[in-house]
Structure 1
Amino acid sequence: MNAGAVSERTPRLAVVTGASRGIGRAIALRLARDGADIVGAGSSIDGLAAVAAEVRRLGRRFHPMAADLADPDAALDLAARIEDHHGTPDVLVQAAGINRRAPAVEHSTLDWDDVVGVNLRSPFILAREFGRGMVRRGSGRIVFVASLLSFQGGLTVPGYAASKGGVAQLTKALANEWAASGVNVNAIAPGYVATDMNDALQADPVRHRQISERIPAGRWARPDDIAGAVAFLTSPDADYVHGVVLPVDGGWLAR
């Protein structure tokens, strides 16, 4: 089958959180190119306008949904709105995420709650709510966005490291429960990606050089590199892939 063809099993509807920019935007566009209609969630409708236009130029539908996933009630509300308007999606990709940097002794409880809320609590709620329908239907794909800090501890990011470690374990836990029902639950673990979340690191010439020198591939990832891994995990080629946390890191973890 050529790269532009759409398989009969191509997902009809994919929900992508964090779709307005960076990795989430690249994933939404890649899945649209592969034939899916997109429900894109972001912090504001206005922020989703650009990716909406790009998806529609590809001939697919884009349904914007605003949600502040730091709000404890937002994920449940978002899931209900999507179910009411579109039913249970074929694919859920959870790319929304935040980070707060501070030494552990200065890392506030508010920052901890915000980071864990967006990166772990909300993804669990969305997976639970859509997973219920996927299990009942007997099919579905859920892809979490983990991190290199699902494997490593990092520095001055205790909340982020804890949340991404939790994402890796949640991936395995849900796969254990839902694989036999035809629901594939996996995660990707991006390496250093040239997005606005990493602006400070890219702007620091010393840290940028140190990081770049350690990456065997010799460069930082582009968002499209990450989107390609998601495309695989949501394709028929990954039918027998369950509970995997797939590093997409240019070889960082192998170093």
Structure 2
Amino acid sequence: MSSVVVTGAGSGIGAATCRRLAAQGIDLVIHTGSRHEAADAVAAECSAVRTTVVVGDMALPSTVDALLDAAMALGGAPGEAGGLRGVVANAGFADKTTLAELDDDILERSLRTMVVSVAHLLRKSLPLLALSGQGRFVAVSSFVAHRFTLGASTFPATAAAKAGVEALVKAAAAENAARGVTVNAVAPGYVRKDRANAGALTEEQWKQALLRVPAGRLATPDDIAAPIAFLLSREAAFITGQILHVDGGMTL
């Protein structure tokens, strides 16, 4: 058997990714920062496979260790058929604080939760992924690292963090391609949120956001989970170091 770690999986893109992978028979380590009940509910939806829920702050190396220990316990010993097959680094949040109002604490929170956590996760998981023979690492970035529009929120702290994530992805891809490990990122556009998790925008801002999407609709979490699952698959073995924009044409 093989296992995949999905961080930030209590709802939205992470939860949709878990459901899609479970349908393929892949065992899951389901991470949440604090929403234990939500993660348990996702695990219940994925009951056809073995699951483990891990709760913890991704900025802490101890959380990364717990995730990988859980993955190896599900997937088998290093070097055996199975083991850790993939990692989806999805944990994060959107912060629309303007640059003029941005203080060090707000900026550092974004960098710790996204850039530092992904660096920890890459360093610890890449050797295990190399042992699997088909290792895949997929980070979730965002259009905010690429698109800055007059009159719209620019999310400077989130943009800086996601740009850092993409730089780490490319560096890791270059360093690990010869080991058979692929490292890529998916950059969603505006994604329709779960009802209980409205996100950083007001209802009026969501309406304005929709006007910026050439496809004429917001993405669903499953719209993003589908390319994540593809990048984790054997069919994506020759794709690495890429940022795949899944945004309905926003970054045209």
**Normalised-by-shorter TM-score class:** 0.7 to 0.9
Q: How does 1:1-255 map to 2 (within 5 A)?
A: 12-44=2-34, 45-56=36-47, 59-70=48-59, 72-79=60-67, 81-82=69-70, 85-86=73-74, 88-153=83-148, 155-196=153-194, 199-201=199-201, 203-204=203-204, 207-254=205-252
For 2:72 and 2:226, the matched residues in 1 are separated by 30
Task: Provide the C-alpha distance between the structure 1 equivalents of 2:40 and 2:65, rounded to a whole number of angstroms.
Answer: 21
Shift of 1:41: 0.7
AA paired with 1:203? E
Q: Secondary structure at the match of 1:92?
A: strand
Distance 2:26 2:67 in 1: 19
CA contact (8 A) 1:139 1:181 kept: no
Contact 2:96 2:200 (8 Å CA) reproduced? no
Q: Distance in 2 between matches of 1:235 and 1:73?
A: 27
* Alignment CA distance shift 1:84-1:111 (3 Å): same
Match of 2:80 in 1: none
> So what's the TM-score if we normalise by structure 1?
0.86
Secondary structure at the counterpart of residue 93 of structure 1? strand
Alpha-carbon shift at residue 216 of structure 1 (Å): 1.4
**209-218 vs 243-252, which moves further:** 209-218
Structure 2: which amino acid aligns with 1:14?
V
Secondary structure at the residue paired with 1:152? coil
1:68 Cα offset (Å): 1.6
Deviation for aligned residue 1:137: 4.5
TM-score (norm 2): 0.87
Q: Which amino acid aligns with 2:137?
A: I
> Percent identity of the aligned residues?
37
Which ranges of structure 1 fall in alignment gaps of 5 or more residues?
Answer: 1-10
Contact conserved, 2:29 with 2:71, CA < 8 A, in 1? Answer: no
- Residue 144 of structure 2 contacts residue 154 of structure 2 at CA under 8 Å; is this kept in 1? no
**Structure 2 alignment gaps of length 5 or more:** 78-82
The AA in structure 2 aligned to 1:238 is A
Amino acid in structure 1 at the alignment position of 2:122: A
Q: Which letter maps to 1:60?
A: V
Counterparts of 2:27 and 2:99, CA distance in 1: 42
Q: What is the letter of the counterpart of residue 4 of structure 2? A: A
Following TM superposition, by how much is the alpha carbon of 1:80 offset from its aligned partner in structure 2, in angstroms?
A: 5.3
C-alpha RMSD of matched pairs (Å): 2.0
Q: Does the 8 A contact of 2:29 with 2:67 survive in 1? A: no
Partner SS, residue 69 of structure 1 = coil
SS at match of 1:20: coil
The one-letter amino acid paired with 1:178 is: N
Contact 1:221 1:249 in 2 (8 A): yes
Counterpart contact for 2:52–2:70, Cα < 8 Å = no
- State the aligned residue count: 239
> What is the rounded CA distance, in whole Å, between the counterparts of 2:200 and 2:168 in structure 1?
29
Distance 1:253 1:124 in 2: 26
